[in-house]
Amino acid sequence: MLNFKNKKMKYTEGMLREDALKGKVIVVTGGGSGLGKAMTRYFLQLGAKVVITSRNLEKLQNTASELEKETGGEVLAVACDVRNWDEVEVMKQAALEAFGTIDVLLNNAAGNFIAPTERLTHTAFDSILDIVLKGTKNCTLSIGKYWIEHKKPGTVLNIVTTYSWTGSAYVVPSACAKAGVLAMTRSLAVEWAKYGIRFNAIAPGPFPTKGAWERLLPGDLAEQFDMKKKVPLRRVGEHQELANLAAYLVSDYSAYMNGEVVTIDGGEWLQGAGEFNMLEAIPQEMWDTLEKMIKAKKSK
């Protein structure tokens, strides 16, 4: 039992008990950088063995040795372009040879950049669909078939975005692909539940990473469009907050959660959606006058 007496809890700290993922083998696509790296770090701290995979082996190996040193956990770095079915199959075999099993698949790898859609070549559009949707399909089908054939339970966690359901201008290939991943999450949550395989998704709002910020807010766009202003809580996400949620969703504590998408965005997408949310701009002192005006109309 953890003793939380006299301990002030912070969202920048780990949340689960120390051994919450003990013995679990987790494959994290895109685990060498950004949010994938942050989630990998926390999984290791909670006792998991993690396979990190992406296209850049040197980056993966650096991350693996950094995190092994930091956490004392075991990391296997495997180069794998998730767009390529054969590479995914080889990555799966490497994971099984190293750790004997796979318990969890975290589909986190993604590609994205901002562009007016009419400027995209058809192959540029494909490059995003292929990484996000086809890559998630390849890893899910490959590892899912292994679980089903060997009668092993499994857990899949997919990282989507809040524009998976709203859509978004200027990142149309990403929006289409993430919508597809969300559909896959909900569809297979039902279809593969009979095999003991759970599917959930996380929809993060803005969590600054080098990969995302260089492609989505290049140059001075980060200052021009301060992401904090889009969030009712007036801040961006901390990587540990996302890692806490991900660890819960891949752990046995969430055993009854299946087919869910959990938004973690400080209220960002709802701020954009609510019909009258623009009234936030009205100063508090004006509300007395407005109330009088409204009531005066009602009594006539």
Question: Could you count the other beta carbons within 10 Å of the beta carbon of residue 153?
Answer: 12
Neighbours of 224 (CB within 10 A): 8
With binding defined as CB under 6 A, does residue 24 bind ligand NAP? no
User: Contact 14/242 with Cβ under 8 angstroms?
Assistant: no
- CB 55 to ligand HXC: min, Å: 8
Give which of ligand HXC, ligand NAP, none residue 134 binds (C-beta under 5 to 8 Å, depending on kind): none
Question: Contacts with ligand HXC in 229-268 (CB under 6 A)?
Answer: none
Each residue 84-113 as x (binds ligand HXC by CB under 6 A) or -, in order, gives --------------------------xxxx
> For residues 125-144, which are near ligand NAP according to CB under 6 A?
131, 135
Summary count for the chain: helices (H), strands (E)? 12, 7
Query: Using CB distances below 5 to 8 A depending on partner kind, what does residue 56 bind out of ligand HXC, ligand NAP, none?
Result: ligand NAP
* H or E, element range at 24: none
Annotated catalytic residue 170? no
For residue 63, the minimal CB distance to ligand NAP (Å) is: 9
* Helix (H) or strand (E) run with residue 125 in it: helix 122-129
What is the rounded distance in angstroms from the CA atom of residue 248 to the CA atom of residue 246? 5
- One character per residue 55-94, x = contact with ligand NAP (rule: CB under 6 A): xx--x---------------------xxx-----------
Both tokens of 90, joined, read: 């080889």
- Which of ligand NAP, ligand HXC, none does 124 bind, CB closer than 5 to 8 A by kind? ligand HXC
Q: Contact, 47 vs 73, CB < 8 A?
A: yes
Closest residue by beta carbon to ligand HXC: 111
The pair of three-digit structure tokens given for residue 186, joined into one six-digit string: 């909900």
Q: How far is CA 152 from CA 50, 103, 143, 220, 247, in A?
A: 18, 8, 11, 49, 20
Residues 159-178 within binding reach of ligand HXC (CB under 6 A): 161, 174
CA distance 90 to 283: 60
x/- site string to ligand HXC, residues 182 to 221, per CB under 6 A?
A: ------------------------x----xx--xx-----
Q: What span, in angstroms and rounded, lies between the C-alpha atoms of 231 and 271?
A: 7
The pair of structure tokens assigned to 208 is 């600054």
- Number of residues forming the site for ligand NAP (CB under 6 A): 28
User: Which residues contact ligand NAP (rule: CB under 6 A)?
Assistant: 29-30, 32-36, 54-56, 59, 81-83, 108-111, 131, 135, 159, 161, 204, 206-207, 209, 211-212
User: Which residues contact ligand HXC (rule: CB under 6 A)?
Assistant: 110-113, 115, 119-121, 123-124, 127-128, 161, 174, 206, 211-212, 215-216
